[in-house]
Amino acid sequence: MKNRTLPAFIHVLLIFSALFHSHSTSVSAQEVEDEKEFSYSEESGKGPSQWGNIKKEWSDCKTGKIQSPIDILSRKAKVIKNPGRLEMLYKPTELIVKNRGHDISLQIHWLKSAGSIKINGTEYFLQQAHWHSPSEHAIDGRRYALEVHLVHQAKDPKVKHNLAVVGLLYKYGKPDAFLSKLLGNISATNGQIHEKPLGFVDPTHIDIRMGGKAYYRYIGSLTVPPCTEGVIWSVQKQVKQVSKEQVHAIRVLVHDKAEENARPVQPLNQREVELYSLI
């Protein structure tokens, strides 16, 4: 497949700059931002099977037992009836679209706090969101066209599970309204630094409706080096729609002609996947 050796971790990246500096840097300090250090192409010698060998700090990518993403088998998920809503406390915040012109091409900065979610009484603040194509998680063996990850972090570093990620899958269909607005405000800059105000945007416009629908919950890891474990994953069961043109636009603008930026699914290793349903 062509262009498999191009730099990795090339995806649309939204970084929500929190009101306090500790919020805005904590997650990014854990996730590797220099995608030249690793790749999604096995032919490069720095592909997913080698991530754990590149740096000792990335050993979890090789030896970890609760890694992400996974193939979610719906028939084996433990159904939790009426668990209460996944409480989302997002709020509109002013954004800036930034194309830095290098491997992580696009950034969006929330100039103030964009809100939080609550899981089991713990508040996790929205830090960043980014898209992977194809989807990283699979459901019953099927990977979809696109997946967005909304990354949250608890203020207290002593919380057992300090990170919580909400994942939404997309299949080909009608255009996604949020992506239409986002892509409409992004321009190619030929490597030049470029910023453009986007105005006030509500994170809920990504169309997260998990509070009223079913979602899968399991404990996993970051899907990029250093593959930190202990992440609470909430993957929406309902699959959203995105147009082929939108996925193509993301790949052209952000992937720098790379074909994909999705880590292969990882072994479940006896982990339990729960299906939270209000139905």
Contact 10, 114 (CB under 8 A): no
| Bond into 134 cis (ω within 30) | yes
Phi, psi of 128 (to 5 degrees): -160, 165
* Residue 42: DSSP 8-state: G
Q: Are the C-beta atoms of 153 and 127 separated by less than 8 Å?
A: yes
Bond before 175 cis per omega within 30 degrees = no
Residue 102 is among the residues annotated as catalytic for this protein: yes
For residues 235 and 69, the answer to whether their CB atoms sit within 8 Å is no
Start-to-end C-alpha separation, the chain: 43
Of the residues 102, 149, 205, 255, which is catalytic?
102
Active site residue ranges: 102
